[in-house]
Structure 1
Amino acid sequence: MIIKTPSRLHLTLIDLNGSIGRIDGGVGLTLEKPRLVLEMKQKGDEIAVKFKNRQNLPVNVVADYEDKIRTSASRMMEYLHLEGGYSFTVHETYPSHSGLGSGTQLSLAAGKLISDSDNYQISVPQIANIVGRGGTSGIGVASFDKGGFIIDGGHHHGEKPDFLPSSASKASPPPIIARYDFPLDWKVVLVIPHLEKHVSGEKEVNIFQKYCPVPLEEVQSLSHILLMKMMPAILEKDLEMFGEAVNTIQNIGFKKIENQLQNPVISKIMQHLRDAGAPGVGMSSFGPTIYAVTDSPQDIVSAARDTIKDVGGHIIETRAQNSGAVKE
């Protein structure tokens, strides 16, 4: 059994002020590429993980994938009271801790393969709860489940009273309050520069604790832009308006903090892509992945090559995916 998952952009968290009773909330977009392809066979008495092209993968990616697969598989087996073992083969990967949501996609993929192999009818949000994903943002879970452009409604204080990243939160995946098909003729150019620093684990927890709550007026401003600019732009297929919204939200609320904490190279690349004609350029999650939404991808890819020639990195031309993971 094989499952193919999308990746996702996390455009912004909405409310890390929390004064009206909810926190978090997220905005995201499901992508065709890069993708994860995971195969599973019911075999032996342990959880085994293999890689199709292990020799070409960084050691940290192999270790991260192995850990997430084993952890998710173990949690699912414990929840379903299953014994025995499973053999997983990773056919396609994309970078860990890059802002593209590999951890959620990988964890859900392993959980879904096990639950489906034993004919359990478990919903994707429930699988996410079992394997421990979606505790802050629901974007990755919804991307796996439905795809498209997604906005989630965050968590009630009764379930999640503290400001924490998903990796440190045990809250259930939040409700999806809006989901739209995203225009497929709008292309997305990803730029993933090779930078040493990334934000995850304890460092990410500390950032949430230090910088939250964010000012209420910034949350209100961000909500206004999302409701009255970004969302209508998608429905009316207005690329310029959507791009303006993306550019504006880089300097508001928690996204502003995420950008300020990044290597200065990130902001330089983003501005260079805007100068090259990209209507909207942003950073996904804590980065380092930068995304540019455009209808002229060749120009932006060319500009992207210029921007990373000193630091190195990857450039991926992709587009939205308006459906979730596919099992074969």
Structure 2
Amino acid sequence: MIRITSPSRLHLTLIDMNASWGRIDGGAGISLESPHITISAEKSEAIEVIGESLLKERIEAAVRNVLPEGQGIRIIIEEDMNTHVGLGSGTQASLSAAAAVNELYDLGMSVRDLAIAVGRGGTSGIGVASFESGGFIVDGGHRFSDKGSFSPSSASRADPAPVIFRHDFPDWNIVLALPDTQGAHDAKEVDIFRKVCPIPLNEVQEVSHIILMKMMPSIIENDIESFGHAVNHIQSLGFKRHEVKLQHQAVRDVMALMQESGAYGAGMSSFGPAVYGIVDNKEDAAYVMEDVQDHLDRTIGGRVIVTKANNSGADIREV
């Protein structure tokens, strides 16, 4: 039997939803230790997925995409995470299931091969790279001629985007708020891409400049103040500006509250509603966490946790 624990991820922003220079998408993100998905798996005569989870059907579908004909597998969902909250649960569930088949049947497939087989990474490469290696990641998007449209991963069959920068994320604390609501997904997500794209080129250029000349150097130099400033800045630019604007006011208020309570930077992951704040010590993290939890309790509900970056990717081991 094997056990796989995969990270979640923060998707900080898409970079280029203009495509006038021939590429589209691109993104920056951070792999997280928690929340995470944990499954155990062993060979079986049939396909069996055990556990109460909204990810159950996705796991079974991923298994069927890679399982050799006539073989079976028994998967137990030990831990899962919320769906459609901006943490990449779909990609991690699919890759975990596919990786279980790959290990048990010695298929020799790479993480990229598995992602292609299960249809993940068609817009953002952050989730696939998080599973593979963890850390802070910037991906280079896709050729627009290959993809052909502005669309989310759920509606794209493009291969996972290439990673153009990967570095261990510093040992900073990340306060993660999970409001009791869901972000856009499925048909609604597709419709948003159709309506707001292309993003003006000047905004794309500004986002690119911030990532290249502020966010990436701040990771290398362990400069939490500059990183926080970059996070704050991108919330009102490009595609991220539209993602934030779609949120319940209580979700937008969480970002402002985190900054007021001591976070160096606060932003929303993907289509939300997950909001993260970057702090440098446990005392500040506890203070921010308390303020945000009180806010959620008084408004739309939800929970707040403190986590850190995952700098190693999915943990796959025999048990």
Shift of 1:38: 0.6
Tell me the secondary structure at the aligned position of residue 147 of structure 2: coil
Distance of 2:145 and 2:210 partners within structure 1: 28
1:1-328 pair list within 5 angstroms: 1-45=2-46, 47-51=47-51, 54=52, 62=53, 64-77=54-67, 81-184=68-171, 186-195=172-181, 197-295=182-280, 296-310=284-298, 311-328=300-317
Distance of 2:122 and 2:141 partners within structure 1: 9
Q: Is the 8 A contact 2:65 2:117 kept in 1?
A: yes
Distance of 1:245 and 1:207 partners within structure 2: 25
Shift of 1:121: 1.2
Q: Is the 8 A contact 2:11 2:87 kept in 1?
A: yes
Shift of 1:198: 2.8
Unaligned runs of 5+ in 2: none
Q: Is the 8 A contact 2:244 2:252 kept in 1?
A: yes
Distance of 1:198 and 1:324 partners within structure 2: 25
Shift of 1:44: 2.2
Tell me the secondary structure at the aligned position of residue 224 of structure 1: helix
Amino acid of the structure 2 residue aligned with 1:238 = D
Tell me the secondary structure at the aligned position of residue 45 of structure 2: coil
Distance of 1:48 and 1:98 partners within structure 2: 27
Distance of 1:97 and 1:248 partners within structure 2: 24
Amino acid of the structure 2 residue aligned with 1:302 = E
Alpha-carbon deviations, 1:302-325, whole Å to 9, x = none? 111221112211111100111110
TM-score norm. by structure 1 comes to: 0.93
Question: Partner residue of 1:58?
Answer: none
Amino acid of the structure 2 residue aligned with 1:169 = S
Tell me the secondary structure at the aligned position of residue 24 of structure 2: strand
Shift of 1:35: 1.1
Amino acid of the structure 2 residue aligned with 1:189 = V
Give the length in aligned residue pairs: 312
Shift of 1:123: 0.6
Amino acid of the structure 1 residue aligned with 2:149 = D
- Structure 1 residue ranges (4+ consecutive) displaced by more than 6 angstroms after TM superposition: none
Distance of 1:116 and 1:273 partners within structure 2: 42
Distance of 1:119 and 1:7 partners within structure 2: 25
Alpha-carbon deviations, 1:227-272, whole Å to 9, x = none? 1111111111111110000000000000000001111111111111
Distance of 1:227 and 1:254 partners within structure 2: 17
Amino acid of the structure 2 residue aligned with 1:65 = L
Amino acid of the structure 2 residue aligned with 1:74 = R
Shift of 1:116: 1.4
Distance of 1:198 and 1:98 partners within structure 2: 5
Tell me the secondary structure at the aligned position of residue 242 of structure 1: helix
Q: Is the 8 A contact 2:12 2:268 kept in 1?
A: yes
Distance of 2:254 and 2:219 partners within structure 1: 25
Distance of 2:22 and 2:254 partners within structure 1: 37
Tell me the secondary structure at the aligned position of residue 304 of structure 2: strand
Distance of 2:35 and 2:192 partners within structure 1: 28
Unaligned runs of 5+ in 1: 55-61
Distance of 1:325 and 1:198 partners within structure 2: 25
Amino acid of the structure 2 residue aligned with 1:322 = N
Shift of 1:215: 0.2
Distance of 1:115 and 1:270 partners within structure 2: 40
Tell me the secondary structure at the aligned position of residue 263 of structure 2: coil
Say what the alpha-carbon RMSD is for the aligned residues. 0.9
Distance of 1:158 and 1:111 partners within structure 2: 29
Q: Is the 8 A contact 2:86 2:183 kept in 1?
A: no
Alpha-carbon deviations, 1:132-153, whole Å to 9, x = none? 0000000000000000000000
Amino acid of the structure 2 residue aligned with 1:50 = I
Amino acid of the structure 1 residue aligned with 2:77 = V
TM-score norm. by structure 2 comes to: 0.96
Distance of 2:115 and 2:218 partners within structure 1: 30
Q: Is the 8 A contact 2:13 2:239 kept in 1?
A: yes
Distance of 1:126 and 1:327 partners within structure 2: 17
